[in-house]
């Protein structure tokens, strides 16, 4: 890569200025909030609507609550990523937050829903630090993750609105 962009990316990588990335998305879905929430809070549904997701399985018995755990296998940029997550925040039919407890890199995901006209506004906040796993710059990684997450939530909308 040459020019200004190449210079910037080399400087960011060399100076170690990579920080945790944060992606925020929201989408309107024409379904009741409790239906949308129950679908996105059941992480075993992830492979149905998230690109690169191979499998996800709860490792603790239900119902979902603070302390529940699940393991997922995903592929991103050609790498297989196995992550164990723990539910750290849970408000039934409203909000769930998970944090990786075993992974190649730390990640936190918050998903929540709000009623909106005749449907639901679904929100996601994804934060992570993959510098040790992917040797690309933070700006490029953030762009790639953002594109992936936005695509996932468009697919979720199509799937739930059927």
- Give the architecture-level CATH label for domain 19-161: 2-Layer Sandwich (3.30)
pTM: 0.82
Between 144 and 33, where is the model more confident? 33
The answer, yes or no, to whether residue 36 has pLDDT greater than 80, is yes
Q: What is the pLDDT of residues 46-63, one digit of tens each?
A: 999 999 999 999 999 999
Closest of 23, 69, 24, 16 to residue 44, by C-alpha: 69
pLDDT at 159 over 60: yes
Helix/strand/coil percentages in the chain, nearest 5: 35, 40, 30
- Residue position matching structure tokens 């992974």: 103
- Of the two residues 6 and 37, the one the predictor is more confident about is 37
- What distance lies between CA 60 and its chain's CA centroid? 21
Closest by Cα among 103, 99, 91 to 64: 91
DSSP letters for 67-115: T-EEEEEEEETTEEEEEEEEEEEEETTTEEEEEEEESSS-EEEEEEEEE
Q: What is the pLDDT of residues 62-118, one digit of tens each?
A: 999 999 999 999 987 788 889 999 999 999 999 999 999 998 778 999 999 999 989
């Amino acid at each position: 890569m040459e020019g200004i962009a190449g210079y910037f990316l080399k400087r960011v990588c060399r100076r170690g200025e990579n920080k945790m990335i944060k992606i925020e998305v929201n989408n309107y879905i024409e379904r009741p909030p409790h239906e949308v929430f129950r679908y996105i809070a059941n992480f075993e549904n992830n492979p149905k609507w998230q690109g690169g997701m191979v499998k996800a399985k709860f490792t603790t018995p239900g119902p979902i609550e603070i302390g529940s755990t699940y393991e997922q296998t995903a592929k991103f940029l050609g790498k297989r990523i196995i992550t164990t997550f723990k539910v750290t925040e849970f408000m039934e039919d409203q909000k769930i937050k998970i944090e990786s407890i075993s992974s190649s890199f730390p990640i936190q995901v918050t998903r929540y829903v709000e009623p909106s006209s005749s449907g639901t506004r679904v929100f996601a906040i994804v934060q992570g630090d993959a510098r040790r796993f992917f040797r690309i710059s933070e700006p490029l990684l953030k762009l790639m993750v953002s594109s992936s997450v936005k695509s996932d939530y468009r697919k979720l909308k199509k799937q739930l609105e059927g």
